[in-house]
Structure 1
Amino acid sequence: MSQPDPGYRPEQGPRPPWGAQPQWGAPQPGAQPPWGSPPQWGAPQYPGQSWGAPVDPSWQAGGPPPYGQPRYAAPPKPGIVPLRPLFFGEIMDGAFQTIRRNAKTMFGSALIVQAITGALSEVAALGMLANLPAGGRFASQAEATRYLGPVFGALAGIMGITLLALALASILQGVMAIPVARSALNRPTGFKQMWSLARSRLWPLVGFAFLLIAGSLLFFVVLFLLAALILTGLGPAGLLLLFPLGLGGFVVYAWIYTKLLVAPAAITIEELGLFAGLRRSWTLTSRNWWRIFGITLFVSFIIGVIGQVIQIPLGLAAGGITSVFAPHAGASQVTTTAIALAVVSLVVGVLVSAVGFAFQTSVAALIYMDLRMRRDGLDVELLRLLETGEDPDGVPGRRRARQAGAQPWPPNTAQGFPRG
């Protein structure tokens, strides 16, 4: 019996005829192609998929991933922001979405405060201008004394109104953090509901507002006294020290302001007292100062530019309207026109300020939520509330804060986003 040629195996089929070469190719797993037949390319047969077949759409729409690879699942976004630590663009978009979804609540509250402070400021300014002489000059010292008394009184009134506006803004910043937190779970908030949820936190917010005013006044008074002492002791040469002194004072004020930026939101959402809220804000902003300062500065710059873009053309148009429609008007007509234009400018300014304040407040509240997601795992708590539907009329983040205080949970072990 003859032996087969080396390399030939009976199970491979009959010998190829002499002079014909086998067609080499990649065989299918578990089977060899017969000699002389074209190769049949193949691959391991995964469930529901083979080479050359159309891609299973379930892999692209929530189904199992191909080849057993893990599939990336994006964090849920039931509301204005995804439930994970936030990026800069998501904070900006979330602020716009909050105002859009709670327009009556947020814009209405900001409009009321801005209208009150704007009207009082305009009345004080008009009172100061009404006490000035017609030509802007005083005929005697007695006349100057008679006029300057009411002028200084109006200036003091304007300063008091500015402090009142600062206090109301601080209180409203804490109150308006409620619709921002609820919007993260797509829960709309009505005007009455917002103030009802914030009613128990109003006194701590009032205390924070007056503490902020007192601290600001004390800071600037100390700075002014230092400048006066420098000028008194050094004379004109002391001017060289005023610039670094003013710059250093601005840096210190900006640093403290940024460290306490999220205190109103912490007082309202976590139901903390005044000093506990200050400590909480100081802790949350640790290792994130530059990021928070950059976002706040950018938002303030954008709002200021938009306000100027709207107000400057309005001011230029006021002079053109007076010269076109009343070129030879008398004093009474000029006064009437100036008052009408001042009212229009006031209304436009109040509307722009209300929108800007609502946006700034939303940004500050989202910064607070981002810091808690990074440090306390607030996103995990929000996910739990989203799945269970618990406390639909409450404030997200308030219940866990009462139970666990300021203890960070879960541990800082999340991957993909820094929580420090």
Structure 2
Amino acid sequence: MPLRPLMFGEIMDGAFQTIRRNAKTMFGSALVVQAIKGVLSGVATFGMLGIAEPPVDGFTTQSEAMQYLGPVLGVAAGVMGISLLAMVLSSILQGVMAIPVARSALNRRTGFKQMWSLAGSRIWSLVGLGFLMLAGSLLFFVVLFVLAALILTGMGSAGLLLVLPLGLGAVVVYIWVYTKLMVAPAAVSIEEVGVFAGLRRSWTLTSRNWWRIFGITLLVGFMVGVIAQVIQIPLSLASGGLTAVFSPHPGVGQVTTTTVVLLVVSSVVGALTGAVGFAFETSVSALIYMDLRMRRDGLDVELLRLLETGEDPDGVPGRSMALHVGTQSWPPMTGQGSPTG
């Protein structure tokens, strides 16, 4: 990628080139996480298949209701736990995968083992960051839910006039804060800072660049979502056609077998597409972080120096410079290294 502040097209191209040059490292790591999520989701789905349908006439006794609701609540808790675990794993992997992106700025390939070796000292900080961001998200929505419940309890249906704008405003605030903290995993991994220092660093780097970061992230997420849906649509149509041809009048056993087979195939395809999408989104996020540091810290000057001297070929570009940012030992920002809006 160009060793200067990046344009949108250069960020997209840089993400593709990074994945292409480090395919085994980035795609393999993302696929491991997607496989874990897929297996756990499949277990939860199989649990749902074993739940009997509720009686048409309703429950006659409390024990009968609890006998049905117990497994349902168990599956629901399992699905929620899987989602929370996936958020933490994604945050950790986002920080780890920022390393090959930073190294690719100098055309340096990064092997799978090398990536995890370079990130080894930052794993626990990334774990702490993942759980802290998860706890913050849960606390935010719990407070919002309790507040909405109190309003509806006190005002009845008229409370909807307050709850709806409140919910809309809460979503806007959540998106704003999420965007401000989006590059925290990369900062923790590359700059070797702590959890709270990484959050502060992300908040500082994204200042005066919020709309640009939000626009890029939204567009990339839309692109990945559309591509994933396009891949899944033929699979859904083919599964329906095969079921109609080979089992036009299926019994209960055939329906269960067909459902399990289709679920496995769908999970495999979903894991593959999810891994590619996650690797691309993570690359874009890491390149946004590099771009912000070039704009605010003059990282492009350091990258040019490393490119010319070939210094520290097995290290992480920008990691040593992070020790001097904000001190007298590093030159002040000038020229294209200055922040832009």
For the superposition of Structure 1 and Structure 2, which TM-score range results when normalised by the shorter chain? over 0.9
Residue in 1 that maps onto 2:5: 85
- Higher Rg: 1
Task: Establish whether residue 222 from structure 1 lines up as the match of residue 143 from structure 2.
Answer: yes
User: Is the 2:297–2:338 contact (alpha carbons within 8 Å) kept by the matching residues of 1?
Assistant: no
The residue correspondences of 1:6-405 to structure 2 (distance < 5 A) are: 81-133=1-53, 140-141=60-61, 142-402=63-323, 404-405=324-325
- Give the C-alpha shift of residue 310 in structure 1: 1.6
Which stretch of the first structure deviates more once superposed, 326-335 or 128-137?
128-137
* CA RMSD, Structure 1 to Structure 2 (Å): 1.7
TM-score, normalised relative to structure 1: 0.78
Which stretch of the first structure deviates more once superposed, 237-246 or 206-215?
237-246
Aligned partners of 1:136 and 1:173: how far apart in 2? Answer: 47
In structure 2, runs of 5+ residues without a counterpart are none
For each residue in 1:151-196, what CA deviation from the matched residue of structure 2 results, as whole angstroms up to 9, or x when unmatched? Answer: 1111001101100000000000000000000000000000000000
User: Is the 2:12–2:284 contact (alpha carbons within 8 Å) kept by the matching residues of 1?
Assistant: yes
- Give the C-alpha shift of residue 266 in structure 1: 0.6
Q: Percent same amino acid at aligned positions?
A: 73
**DSSP-derived class of the 2:335 partner:** coil
- Give the C-alpha shift of residue 216 in structure 1: 0.6
In structure 1, runs of 5+ residues without a counterpart are 1-80
Cα distance change, pair 148–224 in 1 and its aligned pair in 2 (3 A) = same
User: Is the 1:128–1:155 contact (alpha carbons within 8 Å) kept by the matching residues of 2?
Assistant: no
User: Is the 1:258–1:293 contact (alpha carbons within 8 Å) kept by the matching residues of 2?
Assistant: yes
- Give the C-alpha shift of residue 139 in structure 1: 6.0
User: Is the 2:297–2:325 contact (alpha carbons within 8 Å) kept by the matching residues of 1?
Assistant: no
Cα distance change, pair 125–277 in 1 and its aligned pair in 2 (3 A) = same
**DSSP-derived class of the 1:398 partner:** coil
Residue in 1 that maps onto 2:332: 411
User: Is the 1:113–1:168 contact (alpha carbons within 8 Å) kept by the matching residues of 2?
Assistant: yes
For each residue in 1:250-290, what CA deviation from the matched residue of structure 2 results, as whole angstroms up to 9, or x when unmatched? Answer: 11111110111111101111111111111111110000011
Instruction: Please tell me the residue identity of whatever aligns with 1:222.
Output: V
Aligned partners of 1:298 and 1:160: how far apart in 2? Answer: 29
Instruction: Please tell me the residue identity of whatever aligns with 2:3.
Output: L
TM-score, normalised relative to structure 2: 0.95
Structure that is richer in helix per residue: 2
Aligned partners of 1:349 and 1:135: how far apart in 2? Answer: 34
Instruction: Please tell me the residue identity of whatever aligns with 1:242.
Output: V
Instruction: Please tell me the residue identity of whatever aligns with 1:105.
Output: T
Aligned partners of 2:36 and 2:58: how far apart in 1? Answer: 34
Aligned partners of 2:94 and 2:56: how far apart in 1? Answer: 41
Instruction: Please tell me the residue identity of whatever aligns with 1:121.
Output: S
Instruction: Please tell me the residue identity of whatever aligns with 1:243.
Output: L
User: Is the 2:180–2:206 contact (alpha carbons within 8 Å) kept by the matching residues of 1?
Assistant: yes
- Give the C-alpha shift of residue 313 in structure 1: 2.8
For each residue in 1:199-226, what CA deviation from the matched residue of structure 2 results, as whole angstroms up to 9, or x when unmatched? Answer: 0001110110010110010000000001
- Give the C-alpha shift of residue 333 in structure 1: 1.4
Which stretch of the first structure deviates more once superposed, 178-187 or 331-340?
331-340
Higher relative contact order (CA 8 A, sep 6+): 2
Aligned partners of 2:247 and 2:55: how far apart in 1? Answer: 21
